[in-house]
Structure 1
Amino acid sequence: MITDPYFYAAAIPAVVMVGLSKGGFGGAMALLGVPLMALAISPVQAAAILLPILIVMDVVSLWSWRSHSDPRTLFIMVPGALGGIGIGWLTAAWVTADMIKLIVGAVALWFVWRFLAQNLAAARSGLKQPPQPHRPARGLFWGALAGFTSFVSHAGGPPYQIYTLPLKQDPKTYTGTSVRFFAIINAIKLVPYFALGQFDTANLSTSLALAPLAPVATLAGAYVVRRMKPDVFYPFMYAMVLLAALKLIWDGSASLLA
């Protein structure tokens, strides 16, 4: 178990922010977990310590949002996510997390720009943008990218949101579905993480020490999201995607340039 107090000074805020995200906020807060912990330990070790905590958060989130989900979204995206995780496992020795962060950040930034352009055009014409229908091929692609980036750097949120936010589901349905999607991904990721030797006694005991923070932060996030109206929830979520995109681009660019 890690005993360095500087590690816990970084890890405790990281777990709280990831827990709030797991409760329903999504977006940029979830991406801050590994970078914050990486201030004191390596990013690889930070990701390994965080994964069992994410599983605890998933259990709490599944209970909190047990009555809300869209099975069609899961039916379309989960098979793609399984393929993405498999690709991430097979290419783990060659693909760098920094390169993936830069690409995903750029795509997410384009997604937010497109959303703003469409809403500006709709405001000028006086017509509201209708919800987009499910498109299985597109959902399969973004599901695969979400599974791949989640495996590489726990950054599966933006690809998932690129497909699901335009559906304009009820906020509770959106959150419950995303909770189920990432609970499946994180459970499956345990197998390749074990195979790659990411779980040792020190990492697992550190995860256990931080785990009590997980349900408190997750339930707090769920409490707030349940009380958000759609006209507040969706602008907030797009703002989170924007922050996530900028964070990914910054991290990826800084590391590659260095």
Structure 2
Amino acid sequence: MDIVISWDLAALAAAAALVGFSKTAVSGANTVSLAIFAAVLPARESTGVLLPVLIVGDVVAVLTYRRHTHWPTLLRLFPAVAAGVVVGTVFMFWADDDVVRTSIGAILLLMAAATVWRRRPGADEALTSLEGRRGRLKARSYGVLGGFTTMVANAGGPVMSLYLISAGFRKLGFLGTSAWFFLIVNTSKVPFSVGLGLIDGRSLLLDAVPALFVLPGAFIGKACVDRIDQRLFERLVIAATVLGGLQLLLF
């Protein structure tokens, strides 16, 4: 891994602060952080550097919103997510940086488009139900995609954000459920990332400075979340997803 200059470290620190903000305010906004890390570092290596930073943000988010977690949703998702992580691990053995970027960017844009389509006036409300056959199929589909994207590029946030929005979660339930989800999923990815050579002593050393900036970002997010109404919250999540997808495809 190349040694980065001070300006690159500053960019990584700013991206880490955005991770903290996304974990406590607008989940999915950390796709911008993903793009920054991938711009400063090679795309594959950036996933190993970013993962510990995300875990720090996950711990803060769990401590902040743990009372608002909807565990039945998590239990419904985890088997499919595990399958997606395994598929993503196999994919990472042969995929180069360009394939990783293009694949994740395309998935994010398709998921955002599907969410907007389902939320149009007059759409069938049954499509957003957590109950029944369609709800189970949707959970499995989003779970596999979420596991795949989080393993390949730490980009599972937008996928799961779109799922929780489509399922009708309000802000606090959304943040509490996603907090525990990503703490469990991201920590479970560590052995896979070590095995792939994405996390090692040098990557952890590089994490030392950016990780410190997660906390101020999280505090800013917590201060802002009560001032964001539900409709704006959902629009910001979808917009962040689209922005992240475009950055991965175009840059």
TM-score, normalised by the number of residues in structure 2: 0.86
In the TM superposition, what is the alpha-carbon distance from 1:104 to its structure 2 partner?
A: 0.5
**2:19 equivalent to 1:18:** yes
What one-letter code is carried by the residue in structure 1 that aligns with 2:73? T
Counterpart position of 2:224: 224
Q: CA RMSD in A?
A: 2.4
Distance apart, 1:115 and its partner CA = 4.2
Structure 1 residues 248 and 111 mapped into 2: Cα distance closer, same or farther (>3 Å)?
farther
Query: Following TM superposition, by how much is the alpha carbon of 1:198 offset from its aligned partner in structure 2, in angstroms?
Result: 1.8
Q: Percent identity?
A: 25
Q: Is the 8 A contact 1:70 1:177 kept in 2?
A: yes
Q: How far has the Cα of 1:51 moved from its partner?
A: 1.0
Question: How far did residue 203 of structure 1 move?
Answer: 1.3
1:181 aligned residue = 181
Report if the CA contact (8 A) 1:60-1:219 is conserved: no
Contact 2:146 2:157 in 1 (8 A): yes
1:24 Cα deviation (Å)?
2.9
Deviation at 1:130? 8.5
Return closer, same or farther for 1:112/1:12 CA change in 2, 3 Å cut-off.
same
Aligned residues: 243
Q: State the distance in 2 between where 1:209 and 1:245 align.
A: 27
Match of 2:103, as an amino acid? I
Alpha carbons of structure 1 residues 143 and 201: separation in structure 2 relative to 1, 3 Å = same
Q: Secondary structure at the match of 1:25?
A: coil
Partner amino acid, structure 2, of 1:66: R
Shift of 1:131: 8.9
Q: Note if contact 1:85-1:147 (Cα within 8 Å) is conserved in structure 2.
A: yes
Q: Secondary structure at the match of 2:69?
A: coil
Q: Indicate the residue corresponding to 2:117 in structure 1.
A: 114
List runs of 5+ in structure 2 lacking aligned partners. none
User: 1:99 and 1:213, CA in 2 relative to 1: closer, same or farther beyond 3 A?
Assistant: same
- Answer whether contact 2:81 2:145 (CA < 8 A) is retained: yes
Report the equivalent of 2:172.
172
Q: Which amino acid aligns with 1:63?
A: L
Q: Is residue 2:232 matched to residue 1:197?
A: no
Query: What residue identity is the alignment partner of 1:114?
Result: W
Quote how far apart the aligned CAs of 1:164 are: 1.6
Which residue matches 1:43? 43
The equivalent of 2:108 in structure 1 is 105
Superposed CA deviations along residues 64-88 of structure 1, whole A, max 9, x for unmatched, are: 1111111121011111111111111
Structure 2 counterpart of 1:54: 54
Matched, 1:133 2:129: yes
**AA of the residue aligned to 1:106:** L
- Which moves more between the two structures, 70-79 or 88-97? 88-97
Aligned to 2:64: 64
Seen in structure 2, the aligned counterparts of structure 1 residues 242 and 50 have a Cα distance that, compared at 3 Å, is closer
Whether the 8 Å CA contact 1:48–1:193 is kept in 2: the answer is yes
State whether residues 77 and 143 of structure 2, in contact with CA within 8 Å, keep that contact through their aligned partners in structure 1.
yes
Maintained 8 Å contact 2:18/2:214: no
Distance 1:178 1:33, change over 3 A: same
Verify the 8 A CA contact 1:84 1:148 in the aligned structure 2. yes
Structure 1: unaligned runs, 5 residues or longer: 123-127, 252-258
The residue aligned with 1:75 is 75
